[in-house]
Amino acid sequence: MFGALFTSQDVVSSAYAGVLVATFSTAILCFLGLSWVNEKWRVPVAMVGVAALASSLHYVGAASLWLTLQKASGGVRFSGWFTVHPLQVAAVYFYVSTLGKVPVGVFWRMSAAALLMVFSRYLGDAGFFNPTFGVLLSIGFWLYILGEMYFGAMTGLVRKASRPVRFGYFWIRLIFTIGWAIYPILHFVDVVIGAGQASGVIALYTLFDLVNLITPSLIVLAVAGQERY
C-alpha cells in the first residue's frame, strides 16, 4: 500500500493509511503492555491488542483494493468486523472478570450477539434477505449487548471497583453506545438508501473505527497500568 502514490486530496486513501498505522501501533503498544500489567489483566489487554491487529490487517486489504480499483467493498470491511467486534465484547467480559467471577453465560451470550450483529448486516448487504430487516436485526443484537453492559451481572461488580476501573468501564460502555450507533446508520445509508460505498461513507466508517476500536483498547491498557501501581 505505501508503495502507491496518493495525494492529500484522496480522502479515502489518507483515511485508510492513517487508521492502518494507528491500529497497528495500538496493537504493538498493547502487546508490549503485556509485560508490565498484572497477570489478571493480560487476557483483556491481549484481546484488545489482537482486535487492533485484526483491524489493521483488514485495512491493508481495503487500502489495496481502493488504490488498485478506486473502489471499496463492504465484504472487506465485514471480514474485519467478524473478528473485531466479538473480540471487543469478550474483552469487556474479561475486563470485569478481573474484579470477580462473572457468569460464563454472559461471555457466550455477548460474544454470540456481537457475531450475529455483524452477520445480520452482512446478510442484508449481500442480498440474502431484505437489507432493512438486516439493519433492524443488527440493532436488536447491539441493544442486547448494551443491556448486558448497563443492567446485567457485570454492573454489580463494577460498582464496587476502584475509580480507574469504574471510569474505564463507563467510557467503554459510552463508546459502545454512541460510537457503535454509526454502523447501522451508515449501513442504512449505504445499502438501504443506496448511497453505495461513496467516499464520504467510507471516510465516516474509517473515522469511527478510530474512535470505536483504538480508544477502548487504550482505555483497557491504561486501566490495567493504573491497577499495576
CB burial string 195-218: b at 16+ within 10 A, e below: eebeeebbebbbebbbebbbbbbb
Number of folded domains that form the chain = 1
The reply to whether 2 falls in a domain is no
Would 157 be classed as within a structural domain?
Answer: yes
Q: Is residue 6 part of a domain?
A: no
- The predicted pLDDT at position 214 comes to 92
pLDDT, tens only, 127-155 = 788 888 888 999 999 999 999 999 989 99
Would you state the cell numbers that stand for residue 77, as one nine-digit string? Answer: 470491511
In a domain, 127, yes or no: yes
Among 43-47, 118-122, 192-196, whose mean pLDDT is lowest?
Answer: 192-196
In a domain, 196, yes or no: yes
- Domain presence at residue 158: yes
- Rg (alpha carbons) of the chain, rounded to whole number: 18
91 is a domain residue: yes
CA distance 217 to 44: 9
State how far Cα 73 lies from the chain centre. 18
Instruction: Residue 172: give the domain boundaries.
Output: 11-228
Residues 13-31 pLDDT 10s: 777 777 888 899 999 999 9
**Can you give the CATH number for the domain in which 224 is found?**
1.20.1070.10
Domain membership flag for residue 43: yes
Indicate the pTM of the whole model: 0.88
